[in-house]
Homo-oligomer: A and B are copies of this chain.
């Protein structure tokens, strides 16, 4: 791989041919900039792993050439990795007011706030980072202050969409400025690097105002106390719920740490969230049915407010049969079963459950096919590079772009080094990438033997034994043995006794010479314990054998 100074390069590190963990690099004239640094969540193939981080090794090796990290918006899949791996890069971070307000709260929690240079981007006000001229473009999405970025070098302009939708009535911030997008297109755009999340969804994405109207009508026709959950950072939705509730003469309470943080951040940057009661601790002062509670936990997260309410485990917030729970959110793929469990807990308690499959209580933050077509018609890029999605999503996005007359589509995977400049823009190299895992204080590669060892422990448990020999090479009895996650009860006694007998027999069968060699004893004893355990339980525990000699 050879990158020339004059090459205008796009290199996705995460979020290309996968969902989440969005992070992208651009190169020009020996300078790099990063757009977004998000996390994703491990799926069921990785038990023992929660969060995944993109592979930033490539840019860590070139960090003196990295000018900064630009954040398109404040969702976890776009900025959640900063708290874990910014330390390896130590460059300034740029983002809109709300994005930076939200990031500040996270950095404060982990004691990094004073270390990181944070710079607020203002719409249409160009920032120069080395040879890059970056113009932040106000767009709409499901969080306040999202930005698209127009990234210009002497080799052309990339329109990097970030997550986006068209919204004529977004409830927070201005509606999408189509004239602005058109004027960018008119100046000539080399490539769109664009959101593919909803590339399979036909038609146009509805406005936040449609969700507001839907909620107003659902709240009107709902019985009892109402609990509504939504994505915590969707401040517009929180406002929609509050307004829809007040229109119906309800009192609104907020319950959930992330919700409160998002509201605080919104208030700090001037998107006032008003009309809510002070604290749900005063709930008992109001009649049961007059309350609408906005609760965190739309994805069925185990310890979230909504889940605890559903399971009757919330100290203050109680529901009764006949009450209503509204899920003003979509299901993130992989969370289906967790959400279903919460629905079922509610239904078992006689609570009515309303989701976006039943009523218009949620609208997406991503563009449907017709919106994507409209964007291509405004921006008129030469090249389409779909990101934010699995191979399927990216392929579908390419198809849409081709139907719009875009002559070249390049479908990336993480690590695809794409040369945008020159006569034949294409993937010129594929960098191998491997995600990392924040584990306690450590950042561990996801294919580390630490995780494979732990998974073996998960399925098989562990055993440790001590063989103590005196100076005459006689074995000290009884043999010390402990075990974790193997068995219990009557079987345990039988198995332990059999293991002890078998180990003793094994040791007795060794010659004096063999008994002086720790390695031989260890191997023989381990193999003896393995056999007995396989026979008893048909599992393969990890076995630690310690040898102690004459004290």
Contact = CB atoms under 8 A, between A and B. Distances in A.
Given A451-B485, A548-B466, A344 B391 contact: yes
B44 A347 contact: no
Interface residues of A, number: 65
A468 interface: yes
A440 B337 contact: no
A391 B338 contact: no
A443 B462 CA distance: 19
A486 B450 contact: yes
A487 B538 contact: no
A457 B461 CA distance: 8
Interface in A444-496: 448-451, 453-455, 457-459, 461-462, 464, 466, 468-471, 476, 480, 482, 484-488, 491
Interface in A515-543: 536-539, 542
A233 interface: no
A352 B539 CA distance: 41
How often does this chain occur in the complex, in copies?
2
A537 B461 contact: no
Contact of A458 (B334, B454, B464, B491): B454
A45 B536 CA distance: 27
A550 interface: yes
Contacts of A47: 47-48, 458
Nearest to A394: B347
A330 to B, nearest CB: 14
Secondary structure of the A side of the interface?
Answer: mixed
Nearest to A480: B546
A337 B340 contact: no
B461 A340 contact: no
A529 to B, nearest CB: 14
Interface string A387-421: 00011100100000000000000000100000000
Contacts of A546: 464, 466, 480, 482, 546
Contacts of A471: 551
Nearest to A453: B485
A279 interface: no
A449 to B, nearest CB: 7
A369 interface: no
Given A453-B461, A457-B458, A546-B480, A468 B347 contact: no
Nearest to A18: B344
A336 interface: yes
Contacts of A61: none
A17 interface: yes
A64 interface: no
Contacts of A509: none
Nearest to A476: B551
Query: Which residue of A302, A466, A538 has the most chain B CB atoms within 10 A of its CB atom?
Result: A466
B457 A484 contact: yes
A544 B454 CA distance: 16
Given A340-B390, A390-B344, A537-B441, A458 B455 contact: yes
B466 A337 contact: no
A270 interface: no
A87 interface: no
A485 B450 contact: yes
A468 B336 contact: no
A117 interface: no
Interface in A4-30: 17
B390 A538 contact: no
A500 to B, nearest CB: 14
A162 to B, nearest CB: 23
B551 A468 contact: yes
A392 B336 CA distance: 14
A538 B441 contact: yes
Given A336-B333, A476-B551, A391 B488 contact: no
Nearest to A544: B482
Contacts of A486: 450
Contacts of A17: 344, 348
Interface string A164-178: 000000000000000
A439 interface: yes
Contacts of A392: 340, 343-344, 347, 353
Given A390-B344, A457-B458, A537 B439 contact: yes
A196 to B, nearest CB: 13
Interface in A327-354: 333-334, 336-338, 340, 343-344, 347-348, 353
27 contacts: A44-B337, A44-B338, A48-B459, A333-B337, A347-B391, A347-B395, A348-B413, A353-B392, A439-B537, A440-B539, A442-B491, A450-B487, A450-B488, A453-B461, A454-B484, A457-B457, A457-B485, A464-B482, A464-B544, A464-B546, A466-B480, A466-B548, A468-B548, A468-B551, A470-B551, A471-B551, A484-B542
Given A334-B336, A439-B537, 10 more contacts: A45-B338, A47-B458, A347-B392, A442-B537, A448-B488, A449-B488, A455-B458, A462-B484, A468-B551, A484-B544
| 9 closest residue pairs by CB, A with B | A440-B538, A47-B47, A457-B457, A464-B464, A454-B485, A470-B551, A453-B485, A458-B458, A440-B539
